[in-house]
């Protein structure tokens, strides 16, 4: 299957749009298959077809077949697609096509893509940049966690398309370093995840700053938590599209529930599942546990990196690059990677810590079985977690029979496959350069409140010193020596 046809959309709960209003062209059980339709017949320009061909993308996926005639014609679109459905190209192609031959202005982009996470914004830009370059368009990303100076410099030099996270974009808007009054096309990607993270008020303010007559494309798996208000307020005569039922599991994904006797058995099973030759992602509930497990695996000869909210952006980039290139075979992550991390050929996802709700389960699981490939998903369950996990699977519509396993069980061995050769941990300097020892752990920068407290303390000391610059230093009184008895 083509490797460049990245997709970022995830299955979640059913949309409140009537089922008859959706165009369902993907037969159940045929997820992510390409079609007999060509990009040319859909109206995609020849320069973009050449870019797609050089990246091994020959035929469009069903969501692209559905949406491109409408998006290329300038219509507003409300899209829904499963993980691996090809949605990123579904909006990247019309962005590059319809903004060609436009006027580039400093700090006034003509295209805007909103994404909930830095990782997703970065990967959308990677898909979009070669297509935009074919029409002479420039793309940049805007998100927090890094200095804004380079982002501002890129805007001032003239940018056509901005891929942004809402928080940093609003910061730049308040500083009058970017204006959205020239935006012709706006894409809101993973609007439901924006809602989960509490970003919808900011997204609403951002959309209100764009021209009312511009084209808008919104992609969301649900219309709850206020997403429906965005649709009603900002989309005009939108055309809804879907390639399958919402909240449905991917057909090429095989689910396993492994019951273990206790914490020691769980550790052995998880370490064994991580020891195979292919890429695998292990999900943990906390940052500390993700970092700890990545370090343990690396020290055991399984090169691993971690991904969580305590990492700086350069550390995140290094760790993701190590996972992409294969320098690390295992990514140990919190739910930050459940959306926005799209790596081909992840053959196994392990819920080391089962999630608390079914949407998170589907998002995590969607890191495998992408772009037509098959994949396995394992949930490791302690005795006290069995009841909750059973309810979780029912809500996720996953029909799977639990198995009692140990590390040497046949079902575990089958998923491990060929055990990779032992790789000695690299020296710390090399680990930092290549992605980090046991996950590229980086020292977290102090928070704003911490810096204020430190600054306030230093300021108070300075003021006290300046208030009495010539006051004699008081010496601590010496205790009188007692006579020896």
Both tokens of 290, joined, read 């993700």
pLDDT class of 339 with cuts at 50, 70, 90: low
pLDDT > 90? residue 124: yes
Both tokens of 17, joined, read 């749009």
Sheet of 304-307, strands arranged across: 304-307, 330-333, 279-283, 346-351, 375-381, 253-259, 403-404
**What is the model's pLDDT at position 271?**
97
Q: Which has the higher per-residue pLDDT, 22 or 393?
A: 393
pLDDT class of 82 with cuts at 50, 70, 90: low
The mean per-residue pLDDT over the stretch 318-332 comes to: 93
**What is the model's pLDDT at position 369?**
74
Q: Which has the higher per-residue pLDDT, 99 or 33?
A: 99
pLDDT class of 235 with cuts at 50, 70, 90: very high
Contacts 24+ apart (CB under 8 A), 19-24: 21/240, 22/80, 22/240, 22/241, 22/242, 23/66, 23/240, 23/241, 23/242, 24/242, 24/243, 24/244, 24/245
Both tokens of 227, joined, read 């997403």
Asked whether the beta carbons of 184 and 214 are under 8 A apart, the reply is yes
Mean pLDDT of the chain: 82
* pLDDT tens profile 279-291: 999 999 999 999 9
**What is the model's pLDDT at position 18?**
35
Most confident region among 6-10, 25-29, 335-339 by mean pLDDT: 335-339
Question: Buried b / exposed e across 78-98, counting CB within 10 Å, b at 16+?
Answer: bbbbbbbbbbbbbbbbbbbbb
**What is the model's pLDDT at position 192?**
84
| Residue 65 CB contacts under 8 Å (≥ 6 apart), including other chains | 25, 35, 37, 42
Q: What percent of the chain has pLDDT over 90?
A: 59
pLDDT > 70? residue 61: yes
pLDDT class of 341 with cuts at 50, 70, 90: confident
Both tokens of 87, joined, read 């949605």
The mean per-residue pLDDT over the stretch 36-43 comes to: 91
pLDDT class of 484 with cuts at 50, 70, 90: very low
* pLDDT tens profile 139-181: 999 999 899 999 999 999 999 999 999 999 999 999 999 999 9
pLDDT class of 372 with cuts at 50, 70, 90: low
**What is the model's pLDDT at position 137?**
97
Is the pTM of the predicted complex or chain greater than 0.75?
Answer: no
The mean per-residue pLDDT over the stretch 219-234 comes to: 83
**What is the model's pLDDT at position 12?**
31
Instruction: For the beta carbon of residue 458, count every other beta carbon within 10 angstroms.
Output: 10
pLDDT > 80? residue 190: yes
pLDDT > 80? residue 420: yes
pLDDT class of 340 with cuts at 50, 70, 90: low
pLDDT > 50? residue 458: no
pLDDT > 80? residue 109: yes
**Which of the 8 DSSP states describes residue 444?**
P
| Residue 472 CB contacts under 8 Å (≥ 6 apart), including other chains | none
End-to-end Cα spacing for the chain: 93
Distance, CA of 310 to CA of 439 (rounded, Å):
12
Both tokens of 235, joined, read 């989309």
Q: In what helix (H) or strand (E) does residue 288 lie, and over which residues does it extend?
A: helix 287-299
From the CA atom positions of the chain, what is the Rg in Å?
26
Instruction: Label the pairing between strands 239-242 and 253-259.
Output: unpaired
The mean per-residue pLDDT over the stretch 183-208 comes to: 92
Both tokens of 153, joined, read 């410099």
Domains and CATH numbers, the chain: 19-242 (3.40.50.300), 253-434 (3.40.50.300)
Instruction: Name 283's bridge partners.
Output: 333, 351
Query: Is the torsion defined by CA of 458, 464, 470, 475 positive or negative?
Result: negative
The mean per-residue pLDDT over the stretch 444-456 comes to: 47
Distance, CA of 252 to CA of 369 (rounded, Å):
6
């Amino acid at each position: 299957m083509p490797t460049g046809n990245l997709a970022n959309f995830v299955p979640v709960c059913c949309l409140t749009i009537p089922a008859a209003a959706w165009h369902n062209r993907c037969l159940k059980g045929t997820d992510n298959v390409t079609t007999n339709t060509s990009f040319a017949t859909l109206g995609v320009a020849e320069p973009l077809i050449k870019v797609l061909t050089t990246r091994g993308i020959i035929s469009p996926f069903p969501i692209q077949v559905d949406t491109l005639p409408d998006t290329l014609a300038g219509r507003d679109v409300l899209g829904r697609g499963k993980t691996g459905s090809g949605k990123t190209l579904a909006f990247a192609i019309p962005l590059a096509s319809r903004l060609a031959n436009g006027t580039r202005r400093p700090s006034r982009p003509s295209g805007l893509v909103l994404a909930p996470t830095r990782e997703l914004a970065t990967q959308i830009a990677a898909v979009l940049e070669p297509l935009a370059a074919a029409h002479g368009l420039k793309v940049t990303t805007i998100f927090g966690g890094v200095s804004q100076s380079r982002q501002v410099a890129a805007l001032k030099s003239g940018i056509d398309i901005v891929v942004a996270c809402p928080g940093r974009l609003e910061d730049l808007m308040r500083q009058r370093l970017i204006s959205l009054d020239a935006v012709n096309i706006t894409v809101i990607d993973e609007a439901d995840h924006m809602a989960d993270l509490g970003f919808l008020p900011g997204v609403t303010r951002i959309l209100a700053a764009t021209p009312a007559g511009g084209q808008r494309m919104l992609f969301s798996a649900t219309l709850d938590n206020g997403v429906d208000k965005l649709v009603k307020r900002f989309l005009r005569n939108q055309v809804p599209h879907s390639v399958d039922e919402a909240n449905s599991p991917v057909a090429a994904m095989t689910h396993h529930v492994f019951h273990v006797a206790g914490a020691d058995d769980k550790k052995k099973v998880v370490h064994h599942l991580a020891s195979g030759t292919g890429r695998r992602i292990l999900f943990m509930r906390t940052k500390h546990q993700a970092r700890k497990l990545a370090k343990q695996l690396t020290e055991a000869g399984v090169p691993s990196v971690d991904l969580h909210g305590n990492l700086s952006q350069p550390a995140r980039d290094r760790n993701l690059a190590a996972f992409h290139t294969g320098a690390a075979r295992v990514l140990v992550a919190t739910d930050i990677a459940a959306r926005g991390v799209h790596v081909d050929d992840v053959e196994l996802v392990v819920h080391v810590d089962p999630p608390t709700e079914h949407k998170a389960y589907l998002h995590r699981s969607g890191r495998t079985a992408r772009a037509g490939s098959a994949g396995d998903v394992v949930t490791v369950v302690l005795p006290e977690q069995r009841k909750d996990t059973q309810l979780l699977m029912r809500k996720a519509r996953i029909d799977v029979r639990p198995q009692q396993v140990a590390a040497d069980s046949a079902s575990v061995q089958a998923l491990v496959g060929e055990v990779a050769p032992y790789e000695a941990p690299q020296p710390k300097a090399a680990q930092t350069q290549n992605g980090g020892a046991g996950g590229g752990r980086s020292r977290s920068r102090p928070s704003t409140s911490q810096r204020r407290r430190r600054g306030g303390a230093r300021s108070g000391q300075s003021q006290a010193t300046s208030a009495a610059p010539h006051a004699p230093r008081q010496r601590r009184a010496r205790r009188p020596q007692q006579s020896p008895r």
